Structure 1
Amino acid sequence: MNEIGYGLLLPGGAAQLEHRDAARAVARLAVTAEDMGFDSAWVGDSLSRARVEPLTLLGAAAAMTERITLGTAALIPAFRHPVQAAATLATLDQLAAGRLIIGVGAGFPELSRPEFELVGVDYRTRFSQLDDTVALWRQLWSGRYEPFHGTVLHHDWLPEVPRPHRAGGPPIWSTGITPAALTRTGRRYDGWLPYPPDVNTYTTAWAAVRTAAQAAGRDETAITPALFVTVYIDDRRSTGRAALERYCAATYRMPLTTVETIQVMITGTAEEIAAQLDRYATAGARHILLRIAAVESADFATQLDRLGPLIADPAAGTTMPG
């Protein structure tokens, strides 16, 4: 089996914002993740829930770390002006010396509708808005400032923006899994970061991405297949399920029984979780982003300690890159 990279989602939600220095503490967790052997550290994005601003946080993390890749999981580009975001991300890529990955999405189904209304973006055209924004970023990062006319974005004049550390800009990963999103991923994106609860769905969807890439004349190996998975390690299934339930209520205001039909959420012993992750690795996943289902900071710290052996031990079912 090919080697697997592991990422950690940094806890930037409401429970971590209770103290005035919380953002600094969350940024320092990127250092902890680097020391533990994680390959990447990620931050989410939201307007409807209290959350640290992801790009600011990653700027701090870039200054504190040396090796670990930093990413967004997922940035909602519609929340920011696309030209300003292009400048911000290019600057962040410079600060990270090219260690940046931009996972992008169009929001959580229906829950994000009020957020789009708040920023004045039509929720119905969110996918076109996303693809246009990514295309505009890449044009600007390549030093081309001619007029841009996409499906929903139209600019007759564009300013210069900072050039990213990486030529052409950082890799951009898609998070969608609808048939249209899979086609767009194969044609336009550098990686794929979905969270399907059924490994067979992952297998079929990844095949669709590869087919779309081949049809577009792209090398499928240029696309990184990844997985976003929520985990809670506990020897007692009832305790683990209760933790997942609390997390879903706090994060989505939905019951676990609803969320787990949309996202992969795993609880059990470290060995049981490793076995589940190995099934996705067998299906093609090459980078596994772990989100700890802990609402409180102390619980997060305990769970992070339990994850250490899982990501470091090849016998757990996957192997870290050398």
Structure 2
Amino acid sequence: MTEFGIAVPQDVGELESMTLREYLETAESLGFDGLWVSESSGVSAVDPLATLSFAAAVTTRARLGTAVLITNRRTPMQLAGDLASIDRLSAGRLIAGVGIGNGTAEYPSYGLDPAHRAARFEDGIALVKRLWTEDRVTFANRWWTLDDVRVPVRPVRVPHPPIWFGARARPALDRAARLGNGWIGAGSASPESFEESLHTLLPLLDAHGRTADDFTIAKRVYLHVGDETPDVAERVREFFGSHYGNADLAATIPVVGSAARIGEHVEWLESLGVTHIIVHPMVEPAEQMERVARDVVRN
């Protein structure tokens, strides 16, 4: 049965028009299965892990996920401890969505060398898993040296919280199939691009001995339930201009229209094997959350 998560507002401008506590509590009461944050390079976005810590305090049931966390920005020791803390605070509700990011322009501001970023990413995930599952860890490579250390807190989930990978290119999809517990299709992927990536992923899952029982396929969907009025169209363009620097994505990425139109898109995703859909309203998120819950999720 398909699960539905919902994006949590993090933009400072959005948060000025609503109470985050009320949004999170309402989302959970409406039956959403997951509350999802993302990591942005923008200066106006609240930190994703701080947001999830807040969500852990004001909710009790919904899973808390990152879609996705750009893990190269953090050391494995820091990342393992921060994520384990959220898993503890939420009684084991964390889903760690991770990714490598779209580029390296921001690396200097984090004191990072852009070289070998894929290797750094994969080594970092492997080290986080060791820190979560081993009593003491000794490790050394070109980036980190750990001498008989342990993280101060371990996750509730055993062996560790599920790790879902954001990926598009074949090497990244292969990494997801080898190392992950799931894959999150990007919200910015067109239907055609998503289906192409999925057709690349499925043989890789078979090659690595993975099955639908131990690997989740998820997709973020930008949507708006209602008529595409000129005002809605303009605000959707503003959304993509702000979040992706490309307002023209509004013509090919989001699903806008009646509840029946949204439902058809959900059915198409389900036919491809998607079992967790992250809905992401672009306009009036609190109002849209209630419409999606009433007119799409419950149907």
The corresponding residue for 1:53 is: 47
The corresponding residue for 2:90 is: 96
**Separation of aligned partners in 2, 1:149 and 1:129:** 12
Task: Decide whether the 8 Å contact of 1:145 with 1:159 is kept in 2.
Answer: yes
**Separation of aligned partners in 2, 1:59 and 1:144:** 25
Q: What's the CA shift for 1:145? A: 3.1
The change in CA–CA distance for 1:12 and 1:216 in structure 2 (over 3 A counts) is: same
The corresponding residue for 1:155 is: 145
Q: Which residue among 216, 221, 243 is the counterpart of 1:229? A: 221
**Separation of aligned partners in 1, 2:223 and 2:43:** 21
Map residues 1-322 of structure 1 onto 2, 5 A cutoff.
3-18=1-16, 25-107=19-101, 109-110=102-103, 113-149=104-140, 153-157=143-147, 159-161=149-151, 162-195=153-186, 197-236=189-228, 238-257=230-249, 264-294=253-283, 299-314=284-299
The AA in structure 2 aligned to 1:134 is: I
Q: What's the CA shift for 1:72? A: 0.8
The AA in structure 2 aligned to 1:164 is: P
TM-score, length of structure 1 as denominator length? 0.84
The AA in structure 2 aligned to 1:50 is: S
**Separation of aligned partners in 2, 1:222 and 1:286:** 12
Query: What RMSD, in angstroms, separates the aligned Cα atoms of the two structures?
Result: 2.3
The AA in structure 2 aligned to 1:96 is: S
Task: Decide whether the 8 Å contact of 1:185 with 1:191 is kept in 2.
Answer: yes
Secondary structure of residue in 2 paired with 1:139 = helix
The AA in structure 2 aligned to 1:52 is: V
Q: What's the CA shift for 1:237? A: 5.4
Secondary structure of residue in 2 paired with 1:157 = strand
**Separation of aligned partners in 2, 1:34 and 1:7:** 10
- Paired residues, what number? 297
Unaligned runs of 5+ in 2: none
Task: Decide whether the 8 Å contact of 1:98 with 1:166 is kept in 2.
Answer: yes
Secondary structure of residue in 1 paired with 2:97 = strand
Task: Decide whether the 8 Å contact of 1:199 with 1:279 is kept in 2.
Answer: no
Task: Decide whether the 8 Å contact of 1:34 with 1:67 is kept in 2.
Answer: yes
Between stretches 85-94 and 237-246, larger displacement belongs to 237-246
**Separation of aligned partners in 1, 2:22 and 2:15:** 14
Seq. identity, %: 29
The change in CA–CA distance for 1:214 and 1:289 in structure 2 (over 3 A counts) is: same
Secondary structure of residue in 2 paired with 1:92 = helix
**Separation of aligned partners in 2, 1:270 and 1:117:** 45
Unaligned runs of 5+ in 1: 315-322
The corresponding residue for 1:320 is: none
CA deviation digits over 1:135-182, x for unaligned, max 9? 1110000025333356x5442425211111011221111111111111
